[in-house]
Amino acid sequence: MLQLTVLREQTDLVVAGLNKKNYKNAAQEVAALLELDQQRRQVQTEHDDTQAQANSLSKEIGVLMKNGEREKAESYKAQTSELKQKAKTLAEQLTTFEEEVQKALYKLPNLPHESVPAGRSAEDNEVVLEHGAIPQLHEGAQPHWELIQKYDIIDFELGNKITGAGFPVYKRQGARLQRALINFFLDEAMKAGYMEVQPPILVNEASGYGTGQLPDKDGQMYHATEDNYYLIPTAEVPITNMYRDVIVPVEQLPIKNTGHTPCFRREAGSWGADVRGLNRLHQFDKVEIVQITLPEKSYEALEEMSSYIQGLLQKLELPYRVLRLCGGDMGFTSALTYDMEVYSAAQGRWLEVSSASNFETYQANRLKLRYKNENGKTQLLHTLNGSALALPRIVAAILENNQTPEGINMPKVLHPYLGFEKIS
Please enumerate, by residue number, every residue annotated as part of a binding site for L-serine: 234, 265, 288, 385
Determine the 3-state secondary structure of 326 from DSSP.
Answer: coil
The dihedral region occupied by 214, where left means phi > 0, alpha psi between -120 and 50, and beta the remainder, is beta
Break the chain down into helix, strand, coil percent, rounded to 5: 45, 20, 30
Nearest C-alpha neighbor of 163 from the set 281, 285, 287, 286: 281
Give CA–CA dist 223/306, Å, rounded: 32
Residues at the binding site are 234, 265-267, 288, 352-355, 385
Give CA–CA dist 58/62, Å, rounded: 7
- Beta strand extents in 135-185 (DSSP E only): 154-155, 169-170
The type of residue at 326 is C
Give CA–CA dist 183/306, Å, rounded: 20
Residues at the binding site for ATP are 265-267, 352-355
Q: Is 162 exposed, middle or buried (0-12, 13-18, 19+ CB in 10 A)?
A: exposed
Nearest C-alpha neighbor of 311 from the set 362, 354, 360, 271: 354
